[in-house]
Chains A and B, each alone.
Chain A
């Protein structure tokens, strides 16, 4: 640990798809309570990096720590990294919330069951407690009345809010958002962003891959620009949106702001 209260420490993270290098040594620290937005053109490796953080993707070099523990790997005597056991990886993942672009709610389970399943199966929370907590989370995302609906009956924005509640039910130390509003129509984007803003204000540590400049501007403590598998620039929203140093950053920001 760096002693600065870092929840996430990524060092020199390298990832290949076959011969193609998608991550070329990413370094990123995220402090407790910090909100970091990762931006950049598609194909720059943002989503891949995010998926590496909770080991949905293996990494080919470097290390990723959450709350001081390696994610997905353990150190062998001699310092080499070896992929961890399925159970150990699962335990680590339960501390990291992940919100997918396409929600990935379980369609054969009600909204309530979607949220309750993790705490029940992973943390062995008694059912009444898990249900009470799920209901509280549903109120927070404004969907208390949908508890017994199936996801197929909800709008995209509602589904994504349920997905956020599902991740929060595990009381994660870190929340990862993978373009959470990209699959939504403009009307429902707002309701999801509102929930995320609320979460950020409540002190949640968040890493968001997003194209929402308005959101990034209002809640991000730091914006990280990625291009071609590397971080090309990072800084406060103020600094980046008004006076980006890197020409590719300027170019990208100009394009997404029309």
Chain B
């Protein structure tokens, strides 16, 4: 009788239960969601950096970098996830992503590895554009004065240009990670038991998708808010060193104003 009522009205008890007192499966899923997002983002940034380097080197590499960015920005992420998980083994002729694999004594689902790979490759394509724009935003004179002192081009990039480019790269990078946290939910479709799949499994059993999805949505919101707070700290650290001009992007976007700022 109670059950019938609940199916037509929003079941607050279930919602709060899912939100504040989740199951152990959920906690396990949360760890997967967070670690997949972090690892994929880090690898994505590295791929982005390598892509920028490639796009400034000799012609064949340049073409390859261009093609990579074109393909991974131009096709849906979910297709890339599916394609890597189901397609990689077929096209490569050997098993790249087995069902289960042992990484230094750590048991990992093959699907998680395939998912991280897809997310990282997709991320790398976007990050390469962000990094390129950040480097281009640094005045050419900075590179030239570093060269004139006797640094090689590579060391000048590392010691002089990149630290300054970081100030322009970090705000959009934060945005990307925000997107990455939510994009991990796509891995539910290749059988990774992260928090979205946990929600799917739950509502498949209790037929109350609205309550379950609302709770998991709030969990994603919690993660992204947490990240935004961290990002603000990072941007403040990067901003204090020299100039006092730009208000960091995220604070502007959120409408925050520090005292004395207009």
Check B144 against A104 for contact (C-beta < 8 Å).
Answer: yes
Give the complex CA separation of A167 and B148 in angstroms.
8
Chain B interface residues toward A at CB < 8 A? 139, 141-142, 144-155, 159-160, 163-164, 241-243
Quick one: closest B residue to A107, CB to CB? B242
Give the complex CA separation of A56 and B143 in angstroms.
10
- Please give, as numbers and ranges, the residues of chain B lying within 8 Å of A205 by CB-CB distance: none
Can you name 16 extra interface pairs (CB under 8 A) apart from A104-B141, A105-B145, A106-B145?
A: A56-B144, A90-B153, A91-B150, A93-B148, A93-B149, A98-B145, A100-B141, A100-B148, A107-B164, A122-B150, A122-B151, A150-B241, A152-B243, A166-B145, A166-B149, A170-B150
Given A100-B141, A102-B141, is A108 in contact with B163 using a C-beta cutoff of 8 Å?
A: yes
| B interface, over-half SS | helix
- Please give, as numbers and ranges, the residues of chain B lying within 8 Å of A107 by CB-CB distance: 164, 242-243
Check A90 against B141 for contact (C-beta < 8 Å).
Answer: no
Given A108-B242, A121-B155, A152-B242, is A94 in contact with B150 using a C-beta cutoff of 8 Å?
A: yes
Give the complex CA separation of A89 and B150 in angstroms.
8
- Please give, as numbers and ranges, the residues of chain B lying within 8 Å of A91 by CB-CB distance: 150
In chain A, residues 136-194, which have Cβ atoms closer than 8 Å to a Cβ of chain B?
A: 150-152, 163, 166-167, 170
Quick one: closest A residue to B156, CB to CB? A90
Give the complex CA separation of A56 and B163 in angstroms.
22
The residue that A86 contacts in the complex, of B146, B149, B153, B241, with Cβ under 8 A, is B153
The residue that A56 contacts in the complex, of B147, B154, B241, with Cβ under 8 A, is B147
* Nearest 10 pairs of A and B residues by beta carbon: A94-B150, A104-B145, A104-B141, A98-B148, A118-B149, A122-B150, A90-B152, A150-B242, A86-B152, A107-B242
In chain A, residues 204-248, which have Cβ atoms closer than 8 Å to a Cβ of chain B?
A: none
In chain A, residues 112-152, which have Cβ atoms closer than 8 Å to a Cβ of chain B?
A: 117-118, 121-122, 150-152
Q: Is A96 an interface residue (CB 8 A)?
A: yes
- Please give, as numbers and ranges, the residues of chain A lying within 8 Å of B163 by CB-CB distance: 108
Check A117 against B148 for contact (C-beta < 8 Å).
Answer: no
Give the complex CA separation of A29 and B144 in angstroms.
25
Give the complex CA separation of A95 and B147 in angstroms.
12
Check B242 against A100 for contact (C-beta < 8 Å).
Answer: no
Check B144 against A100 for contact (C-beta < 8 Å).
Answer: yes
Q: Is A54 an interface residue (CB 8 A)?
A: yes
Give the complex CA separation of A87 and B150 in angstroms.
9
Given A121-B159, A150-B241, A152-B242, is A93 in contact with B150 using a C-beta cutoff of 8 Å?
A: yes
Give the complex CA separation of A117 and B152 in angstroms.
13
**B138 CB, min distance to chain A CBs, angstroms:** 10
